Amino acid sequence: MPHAKLAIDLPDHTWIGDLSTIHPEVVFQVVTSIPGEGTGIGLVRLIATDPLPIITDIQARDDVEDLELLWKHDDEALLQIQTANPLPLLPVWRAGVPLKMPFDIQDGEATWEVTTSTSRLSSLRDHLDDLGIGFSIEYVREIDASQADQLLTTRQQEVLMAAVKAGYYRAPRESTLGDVAETLGVANATCSDVLHRAEGHIIHWFVEEHMEA
């Protein structure tokens, strides 16, 4: 069963697509949502220097049928919003794909994470295409993937394996960092940074799994 992360380009004729583009510094966090064909209801957390002008802009939208301010504190506010144009969430509703909540929307782009069947993920892509909603897939991973796939990016695995094959981790070392970098065709600093991050992930995983009480 795949787990996927997608970047969704919100249509600019929807309230949240328009306003998140007009106010690119504001984070619209969708806490929960109930989409439908003709209407949608959601809880949206605003994170902005001053949420009040954003709330006023939302209320002025023709496609926003109702807005309730549930709470506000300094740079945050929680709103319940009913919209007549739930287009951004129609693809997940039609495909029957559970969307991980909350998810963030900023500067016209939503970040979605889904875990579903391969056929439903394919259906989600089709519905996004059908509705003219642009998207890119940041990654697709199997939830039963190996521990290495869960711990490390593809690039980190590649660099780490090159270091292992070159004898970088043997005692005494059979190659230098420069040798590994040369094999990969990257700068020493780049190779060092990727290895450091990979080693850090592995060490933290080992400590959490085998050494913490």
pLDDT in tens, 82-107: 998 888 889 999 999 989 899 999 99
In angstroms, the CA 108 to CA 119 distance is 28
pLDDT in tens, 146-170: 555 567 888 888 999 999 999 999 8
Burial of 19 (0-12, 13-18, 19+ CB in 10 A): buried
Select from 18, 21, 26 the least CA-distant residue to 63: 18
Instruction: Please list the alpha-helical segments (H only) found in 60-187.
Output: 90-95, 118-130, 147-151, 154-165, 177-184
In angstroms, the CA 56 to CA 72 distance is 14
At residue 151, the pLDDT reads 72
Domains of the chain by residue range: 2-142, 147-210
Report whether 181 contacts 160 (CB < 8 A): no
Mean pLDDT of 134-156: 74
Decide which of 110 and 152 is more confident.
110
What whole-number percentage of the chain has pLDDT above 70?
92
State both tokens at 180: 């590994």
